[in-house]
Amino acid sequence: KLKVNREKSKTGSPLKLKFLGFSLYKAKGKIGIRPYQKSVKRFKDRVRQITSRKRGRSTQKILKELKTFTTGWLGYFAIADMKNRITALNVWIRRRIRMYLWKQWKKISARFKNLKRLGISKGKAWEWANTRKGYWRIANSWILSRSLTNEYLASVGYDDISKRYEVLHLNH
């Protein structure tokens, strides 16, 4: 006799169910698929773990590990419709990387030197090197957005997940 697992078995609208990490949605009279909310939450939790400030690893190792994880995740979920969500996740991941780099420049002298090296004026570099704001807040500031640009992050090894998603999504 077959035993039914009551936790996994459900009846109801397919739009409210999760299956293999995906959920269905209806828009403009069409049905589409997207990653289930918990799948995205687990993705963010794993990225938080990889980019944790207390890991003490080189930026290259962090970016390599991040690329490995995001490549696998995108490979699985590329079939889903999630362009806006991927764009938002991309912005969030870049902020996590900026936070990680700011934490690595722990001392005022290192922050000052690196900000100057990245093209920030001497006065502004000194002002922001001495800030008391937290790492996460500074990661969203104009000073790091202007100094640690998207192009700079790409040059140190960050692989833009929005571009990778577009390529993978077109192939499905």
Spatial CB neighbours of 103, under 8 Å, sequence gap ≥ 6: 53, 135
* Whether the predicted pLDDT of 2 surpasses 90: no
* Whether the predicted pLDDT of 98 surpasses 70: yes
| Each residue's pLDDT tens digit, 114-158 | 999 999 999 999 999 999 999 999 999 999 999 999 999 999 999
How do the domains of the chain map onto residue ranges?
Answer: 37-171
Q: How far apart (Å, rounded) are the C-alpha atoms in residues 167 and 124?
A: 39
Q: How far apart (Å, rounded) are the C-alpha atoms in residues 120 and 7?
A: 56
**pTM value surpassing 0.75:** yes
* Whether the predicted pLDDT of 14 surpasses 70: no
